[in-house]
Amino acid sequence: MLFLFVTVIIFNLIAYLIPKRISPMVLLATTLFAMYLQLITDVYLGLKYHLYGYFDKGVNWSTLIYAFGIYPAINVVFLNYYPYGKKIYKHAIYILGWSILAMGYETLFIWTGTFYLNGWKQYYSVIVYPILYIILMVFHKIAVKFIKQS
């Protein structure tokens, strides 16, 4: 649990202190979308199908530490340093790097007991993380477009 709290503090400090390259409204929209996507995914894969979970089986308040403490901060940092306007291979390298980082943290959270696997295999995450980051970027582009139109 200590590792989780330290991670939350560090990620949120980074998210707060970095220069913001994205408007607050776009950050808000994409952060809420990222949290929504994470919660829906966890409801189905974690609670309905019992493939993984946080801490103990079932619903518990400490799961909210992930939902509100980690995912929004990661979203802010990921989007602020995304290589907008660069060649496609730089986008791929960036997403690959974040996916590797996510896999590393997933492993550490498993080792520290704040996350467990129950049917989910870690190699599934190798496939899923890049897809999730791409979905986040697609939503980001949609949010930017809608905000410019308003």
Three-state secondary-structure class, residue 19: coil
Q: How far is CA 21 from the centre of its chain?
A: 19
Q: Where in the sequence is the domain holding 76, given as residue range(s)?
A: 23-149
What pLDDT, on a 0 to 100 scale, did the predictor assign at position 120? 97
**CB within 8 Å of 72: residues ≥ 6 apart:** 15, 31, 34, 35
What pLDDT, on a 0 to 100 scale, did the predictor assign at position 38? 93
In a domain, 13, yes or no: no
In a domain, 18, yes or no: no
In a domain, 37, yes or no: yes
Task: State the total domains in the chain.
Answer: 1
- The Cα-based distances of 52 to 14, 29, 106, 141 in angstroms read 28, 27, 11, 30
In a domain, 87, yes or no: yes
What pLDDT, on a 0 to 100 scale, did the predictor assign at position 57? 86
In a domain, 117, yes or no: yes
Distance in angstroms (rounded) separating the CA atoms of residues 126 and 115: 17
- The string of DSSP codes covering 65-117 is IIIIIIHHHHHHHHHHTS-TTS-HHHHHHHHHHHHHHHHHHHHHHHHHTSEEE
H or E element: which one contains 52? strand 52-54
In a domain, 122, yes or no: yes
Per-residue tens of pLDDT for the chain, all 150 residues = 899 999 999 999 999 999 999 999 999 999 999 999 999 999 999 999 999 999 988 888 888 888 899 999 999 999 999 999 999 999 999 999 999 999 999 999 999 999 999 999 999 999 999 999 999 999 999 999 999 998
In a domain, 11, yes or no: no
In a domain, 134, yes or no: yes
Three-state secondary-structure class, residue 53: strand
What pLDDT, on a 0 to 100 scale, did the predictor assign at position 58? 80
